[in-house]
């Protein structure tokens, strides 16, 4: 396997992300500068300078024109991808944990933590691409306050056709909200407790039919987005920080590892800082990719399924290009069964 | 009213003056109401007026009362009989006299000495009750004064009150116990008849106890995992404690709070339940006829029970041995069965090492069943002289009568360690130097108790006795006291089967010796030795008891892995079939090396393993397993990660790795000794090829069938998943226009939105002229 190691961050990686075409790779870390790389050459194309806190999440719009970044400095920033120009800053009431573009890139949603007297908030901002940047409003279109201080949202996502906001919580729940009114959905398939512990990340398949969760309870779940029913469970023995579904194979990739705080007490090898490959249907692990020397904090797979990227607590981003023996690997069960 | 007398001698009550009662007895019998189990506490006290002020402090309607249980304890009382019968005038003098005797033994409770009078004659009745403050004093008093001659006519008869009650209330006539209905015992050894001759093992993890067949293909096959118990519902499970196999593998023993249970047969049905409250350790005898259970921390009488396994009765209770030298757990008692279960030897000395201490971890004998027992100290060091310095004996009891052989123990002053020969009724023991006597290793033959060999030794600091498993050789690994700069180690090697028991000695220069192991059923042994503190690499030496070329009975160094070949190793593990040995390092970072001793070559080596804390060959020598376990009942444990076990073939190929959260134990099911003679075994080895083909074919077929079965299951899951996905995809396609509208008319499935690049790759052999051109 061909590997590119990208050293562009000074602190632990928090998010890695391919754009829709797979030619750009975005990485964010606990340092303040999200970075964009050329996937083919590994060249660093640029950074987005302006935040004063660690980056917790980011999202690139469908046509790769604009980027939103969420940060611990209570700000969300909207950037022009090509130039690195900062278009607007959205100041929040607490550290921001998640930001996500809606389909079509007209709106994005954010979640922020409770802070002093402020409750946790989920907000939707209207930021059409063709509008004059001057006319964009930093006030949210929709604002949902989470009054229950025990419930902390960790990430926010949009479901198929922007029907719902899907919010993941620290206690392992996911809930759906109406993105227009901000009301919590009720009834079948509107909320579910998927994990015993914090949900670190969620990623979708291409058509947003299923999503995969990554949680501190050592598991990942493949979930039917419509009913929120758990279809498959992938069990590991370390916290899972990121998980993705392969677009071309019945595989899922899980990245994780022993918590960074207890790493020093064990040998590097015992920390299991590996990307694990599971068969998505049989739930069986069949391979691991080593290389990092800290827990893996984020993974993504290129839209063509030919490469995957992992970011780690060690500050490195590793971009792996699959070999033919992986790409031409057949399903262990012959088709006639 | 004195309850003791009422109880014992109702006929004399009327004539007795009312003596003051024994204090601690009265407390339970006079004023206080006795609660019956299950009776409501409130029932007794509800009518007692409660002080108004107190009311606020008493929670009403509480139902979680601990029922107070009153157990009248008579164990501090003794009965002294055969005292002189004296008149009232001499009564006081006798009382003073008796008190003087027993005051020396222990403190008598207030009003604790009672000597009843016969009203009619005015004479004493010739016995007295004495109530001590502690049970200890009572026991001491019995031991010290029973059969003691007060004068010519009066030899005291002293008994514990409890025993006396037992005897007097025993029915005069014998009523036979109703015959127990015959139950069919499941085929205890059926597992040996497995068509593929596989071996079984048990694992404990989480709340599960599971027995598996080891499969040559790797993934083990479940035999029984407590399904019966789980089906009973109410969150029941098979066993929540440790489990252990019996010595021949006939039974699986599970520990429970109330005792132990034995399971056997193809589906592990319950064979017996042996009640022993608070049992902490159970040890089977070598042929599985007997079982010894110990409880902890209770060290009173009955804390060690010997059971007849087949009849599931306690034989110790039956014979009611007075002389059974039961000592509190961990205070220097060794129970060891002879190979044929004819005898049990009990060593008694303050120097004996705690038998359980060695059981934690990798020890062979105890089956690791009782890792949860708190460990006592591992025995005192040498040179720690004291008044009991000379103490030490080995008592050999005959099973099942449990009577002391010849009614006398074997004297073994200063006894430090002993063990039975695994194939003969021969005991080897050793004792250190004391009072001008040299240290010694002694071999005693049973039942004659004849000393067949004695080897005096000097400047001994420690000694370890290791029998070869066929009982042909015995090694005494003697660590000598430091004389110059280094501690010297010598191996005293006994050829037990030879007339006169020939003895040879090998001196090891590079010390300390870290491990010693006999080749099973062979003539070789291996040791790890040397002191290389910097690189943690040690030498491994292989010796033979028979000279390899001349065939003479002469201890010979075969070869030594030293210098460049020294290895980081601290544990030796011979394959049960010999020839192959595992040189292991068991530490935070462990390593395993499969080494062929015959060809001096490494078969396989792995040095990237994390902490291994269990390492064992299966009984047939086909597999080696290592396990990473955590102690039971430990909610936070550093190594809760990586728990599980790995299985290797004897060539060192990893065939299975099973990871389980909270993995507590792994144990191979032992096999009983082979019934084939040495001649027959040789024949089997000769015809191995023939068997090999048959088994290979069977294995392949089985593997294929298993695979097909698995494919069917997986195929069904795949079909079900794909059907689901197709429905959802159709739903998406029907509404796809909405997404295209959101993307302002851009459809990313529209081919014209893509730049299509065709990449052709071709494999070109090296040196191809086309490539060169």
Q: What is the pLDDT of residue B532?
A: 62
Query: Residue-wise over B149-160: b if at least 16 C-beta within 10 A, else e?
Result: ebeeeeebebbb
Tokens for B234? 């109410």
Asked, as a colleague might, if the bond just before B447 is cis with ω within 30 of 0, I would say yes
Which B residues 566-595 touch A at CB under 8 Å?
588-589
Distance between CA A140 and CA A148 in Å, rounded?
21
Which residues from A are below 8 Å from B748, CB to CB?
20
Minimum Cα–Cα distance from B727: chain A residue: A209
CB contact under 8 A, B735 and A161: yes
Is A266 in CB contact (< 8 Å) with chain B?
yes
Parallel, antiparallel or unpaired: strands A199-204 and B644-649: unpaired
Mean pLDDT confidence for B223-229: 88
Does B466 score more than 50 pLDDT?
yes
Minimum Cα–Cα distance from A222: chain B residue: B721
Is B732 in CB contact (< 8 Å) with chain A?
yes
Q: Is this prediction's pTM over 0.90?
A: no
Minimum Cα–Cα distance from B714: chain A residue: A282
Mean pLDDT confidence for B695-723: 89
Nearest to B732 among A209, A334, A337 (CB): A209
Q: How large a percentage of chain A has pLDDT more than 70?
A: 96
Structure confidence by residue, pLDDT tens digits, B366-382: 333 333 333 333 333 33
CB contact under 8 A, B732 and A207: yes
Mean pLDDT confidence for A307-328: 92
Which residues from A are below 8 Å from B727, CB to CB?
none
Nearest to B732 among A106, A160, A250 (CB): A160
pLDDT bracket for residue B535 (50, 70, 90):
low
Would you say the C-alpha torsion A154, A155, A159, A164 has a positive or negative sign? positive
Chain B: nearest CA to A31, how far in angstroms?
Answer: 31
Chain A: nearest CA to B743, how far in angstroms?
Answer: 5
CB contact under 8 A, A160 and B712: no
Is A337 in CB contact (< 8 Å) with chain B?
yes
CB contact under 8 A, A333 and B610: no
Which residues from B are below 8 Å from A258, CB to CB?
641
Minimum Cα–Cα distance from B737: chain A residue: A161
Q: Which residue, among B744, B759, B760, would best test binding to A if mutated, counting the most A CBs under 10 Å from its CB?
A: B744
Q: What is the pLDDT of residue B669?
A: 94
Q: Would you tell me how many other CB atoms lie within 10 Å of the CB of residue B668?
A: 20
Chain B: nearest CA to A236, how far in angstroms?
Answer: 10
Mean pLDDT confidence for B684-710: 86
Which residues from A are below 8 Å from B738, CB to CB?
161
Nearest to B739 among A161, A231, A232 (CB): A161
pLDDT bracket for residue B634 (50, 70, 90):
low
Is B704 in CB contact (< 8 Å) with chain A?
no
CB contact under 8 A, B641 and A258: yes
* Domain extent listing, chain A: 2-327
Q: What is the pLDDT of residue A210?
A: 93
Structural domain A2-327, CATH architecture? 7 Propeller (2.130)
Distance between CA B241 and CA A295 in Å, rounded?
35
More confident residue, B2 or B635: B635
Which residues from B are below 8 Å from A266, CB to CB?
641
- The two counts, helices (H) then strands (E), for chain B are 13, 41
Does B28 score more than 80 pLDDT?
no
Which residues from A are below 8 Å from B661, CB to CB?
237
Report angle CA B757, B759, B763 to the nearest 5 degrees: 175
Nearest to B742 among A103, A231, A266 (CB): A103
- Across chain B, mean pLDDT equals 78
Which residues from B are below 8 Å from A223, CB to CB?
none
Q: Which residue, among A23, A103, A161, A222, would best test binding to B if mutated, counting the most B CBs under 10 Å from its CB?
A: A161
Please state which of the ranges B46-50, B527-531, B680-684 shows the lowest mean pLDDT. B46-50
Alpha helix segments (H runs only) across B275-356: 315-319
pLDDT bracket for residue B1 (50, 70, 90):
very low
Structural domain B72-170, CATH architecture? 2-Layer Sandwich (3.30)
Q: How high is the ipTM of this complex?
A: 0.90
The residue written with tokens 């201490």 in the block is B357
Q: What is the pLDDT of residue A76?
A: 93
Which residues from A are below 8 Å from B742, CB to CB?
102-104, 106, 161-162
- Across chain A, mean pLDDT equals 89
| Three-state SS sequence of B163-219 | HHHHHHHCCCCCCCCCCCCCCCCCCCCHHHHCCCCCCEEEEEECCEEEEEEEECCEE
Q: Which residue, among A61, A63, A66, A104, would best test binding to B if mutated, counting the most B CBs under 10 Å from its CB?
A: A104
Does B694 score more than 90 pLDDT?
no
């Amino acid at each position: 396997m061909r590997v590119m190691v990208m050293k562009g961050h000074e602190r632990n990686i928090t998010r890695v992300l391919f754009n829709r075409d797979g030619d750009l790779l975005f990485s964010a870390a606990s340092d303040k500068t999200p970075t964009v790389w050329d996937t083919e050459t590994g060249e660093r194309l640029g950074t987005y300078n302006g935040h004063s806190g660690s980056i917790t999440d980011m999202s690139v719009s469908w046509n790769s024109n604009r980027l939103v970044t969420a940060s611990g400095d209570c700000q969300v920033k909207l950037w022009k991808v090509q130039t690195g120009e900062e278009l607007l800053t959205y100041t929040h009431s607490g550290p921001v944990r998640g930001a996500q573009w809606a389909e079509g890139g007209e709106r994005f949603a954010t979640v922020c933590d409770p802070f002093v007297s402020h409750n946790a908030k989920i907000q939707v901002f209207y930021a059409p691409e063709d509008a004059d940047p001057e006319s964009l409003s930093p006030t949210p279109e929709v604002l949902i306050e989470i009054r229950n201080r025990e419930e902390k949202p960790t990430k926010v996502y949009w479901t198929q056709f922007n029907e719902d906001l899907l919010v993941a919580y620290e206690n392992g729940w996911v809930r759906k909200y109406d993105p227009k009114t901000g009301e919590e959905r009720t009834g079948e398939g509107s909320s579910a407790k998927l994990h015993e512990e914090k949900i670190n990340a969620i990623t979708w398949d291409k058509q947003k039919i299923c999503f995969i969760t990554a949680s501190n309870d050592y598991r990942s779940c493949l979930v039917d987005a419509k009913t929120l029913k758990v279809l498959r469970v992938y069990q590991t023995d370390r916290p899972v920080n990121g998980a993705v579904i392969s677009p071309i194979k019945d595989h899922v990739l899980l990245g994780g590892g022993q918590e960074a705080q207890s790493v020093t007490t064990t040998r590097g090898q015992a920390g299991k800082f590996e990307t694990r490959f599971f068969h998505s249907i049989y739930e069986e692990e069949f391979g691991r990719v080593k290389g990092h020397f800290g827990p893996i904090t984020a993974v993504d797979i290129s839209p063509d399924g030919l490469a995957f990227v992992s970011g780690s607590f060690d500050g490195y981003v590793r971009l792996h290009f699959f070999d033919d023996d992986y790409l031409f690997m057949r399903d262990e069960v012959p088709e006639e069964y | 009213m004195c309850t003791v007398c009422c109880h014992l001698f109702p006929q004399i009550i009327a004539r007795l003056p009312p003596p003051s009662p024994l204090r601690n007895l009265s407390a339970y019998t006079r004023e206080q109401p006795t609660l019956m189990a299950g009776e409501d506490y409130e029932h007794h006290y509800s009518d007692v007026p409660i002080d108004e002020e107190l009311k606020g402090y008493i929670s009403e309607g509480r139902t979680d009362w601990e029922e107070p249980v009153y157990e009248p304890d008579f164990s501090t009382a003794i009965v002294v009989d055969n005292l002189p019968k004296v008149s009232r005038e001499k009564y006081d003098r006798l009382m003073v006299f008796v008190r003087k005797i027993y005051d020396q033994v222990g403190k008598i409770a207030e009003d604790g000495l009672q000597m009843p009078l016969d009203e009619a004659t005015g004479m004493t009745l010739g016995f007295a009750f004495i109530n001590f403050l502690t049970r200890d004093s009572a026991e001491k008093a019995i031991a010290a004064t029973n059969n003691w001659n007060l004068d010519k006519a009066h030899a005291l008869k002293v008994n514990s009150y409890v025993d006396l009650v037992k005897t007097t209330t025993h029915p005069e006539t014998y009523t036979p116990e109703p015959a127990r209905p015959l139950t069919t015992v499941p085929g205890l050894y059926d597992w040996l008849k497995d068509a593929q001759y596989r071996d079984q093992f048990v694992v404990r993890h989480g709340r599960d106890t599971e027995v598996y067949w080891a499969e040559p293909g790797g993934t083990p096959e479940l035999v029984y995992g407590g399904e019966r118990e789980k089906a009973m519902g109410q969150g029941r499970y098979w066993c929540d404690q440790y489990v252990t196999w019996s010595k021949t593998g006939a039974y699986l023993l599970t520990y429970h709070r109330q005792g132990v249970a034995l399971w056997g047969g193809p589906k592990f049905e319950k064979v017996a339940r042996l009640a022993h409250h608070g049992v902490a350790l159970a040890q089977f005898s070598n042929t599985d006829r007997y079982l010894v259970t110990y409880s902890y921390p209770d060290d009173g009488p009955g804390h060690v029970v010997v059971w007849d396994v087949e009849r599931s009765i306690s034989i110790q209770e039956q014979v009611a041995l007075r002389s059974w030298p039961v000592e509190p757990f961990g205070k220097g008692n060794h129970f060891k069965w002879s190979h044929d279960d004819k005898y049990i030897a009990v060593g008694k000395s303050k120097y004996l090492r705690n038998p359980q201490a060695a059981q934690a971890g990798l020890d062979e004998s105890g089956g690791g069943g009782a890792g949860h027992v708190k460990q006592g100290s591992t025995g005192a060091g040498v040179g720690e002289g004291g008044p009991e310095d000379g103490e030490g004996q080995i008592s050999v009891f005959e099973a099942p009568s449990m009577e002391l052989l010849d009614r006398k123990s074997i004297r073994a002053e200063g006894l430090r360690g002993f063990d039975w020969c695994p194939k003969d009724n021969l005991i080897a023991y050793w004792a250190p130097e004391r009072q001008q006597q040299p240290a010694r290793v002694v071999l005693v033959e049973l039942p004659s108790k004849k000393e067949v060999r004695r080897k005096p030794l000097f400047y001994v600091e420690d000694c370890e006795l290791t029998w070869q498993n066929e009982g042909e050789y015995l090694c005494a690994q003697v660590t000598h006291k430091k004389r110059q700069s280094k501690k010297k180690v010598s191996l005293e090697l006994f050829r037990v089967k030879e007339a006169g028991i020939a003895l040879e000695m090998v001196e090891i220069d590079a010390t300390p010796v870290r491990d010693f192991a006999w080749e099973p059923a062979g003539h070789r042994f291996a040791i790890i030795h040397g002191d290389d503190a910097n690189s943690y690499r040690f030498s491994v030496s292989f010796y033979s008891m028979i000279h390899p070329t001349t065939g003479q009975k002469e201890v010979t160094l075969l070869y030594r892995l030293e210098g460049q070949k020294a290895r980081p190793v601290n544990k030796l593990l011979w394959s049960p079939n010999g020839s192959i040995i595992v040189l292991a390092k068991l530490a935070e970072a462990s390593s395993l090396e499969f080494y062929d001793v015959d060809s001096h070559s490494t078969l396989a080596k792995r040095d990237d393993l994390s902490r291994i804390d269990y390492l064992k060959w299966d009984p047939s020598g086909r597999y080696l397993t290592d396990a990473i376990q955590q102690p039971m009942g430990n909610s936070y444990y550093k190594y809760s990660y990586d728990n599980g076990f790995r299985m290797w073939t004897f060539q060192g190929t990893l065939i299975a790795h099973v990871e389980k959260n909270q993995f507590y134990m792994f144990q191979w099911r032992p096999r009983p000794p082979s019934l084939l003679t040495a001649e027959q075994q040789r024949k089997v080895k000769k015809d191995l090829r023939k068997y090999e083909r048959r088994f290979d074919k069977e294995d392949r077929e089985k593997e294929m069938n298993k695979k097909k079965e698995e494919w069917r299951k997986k195929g069904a899951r795949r079909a079900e998943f794909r059907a689901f996905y197709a429905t959802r995809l159709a739903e998406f396609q029907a509404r796809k226009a909405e997404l295209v509208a959101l993307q302002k008319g851009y459809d990313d499935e529209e081919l014209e939105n893509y730049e299509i690049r065709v990449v052709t790759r071709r494999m070109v052999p090296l040196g191809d002229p086309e490539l060169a051109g």
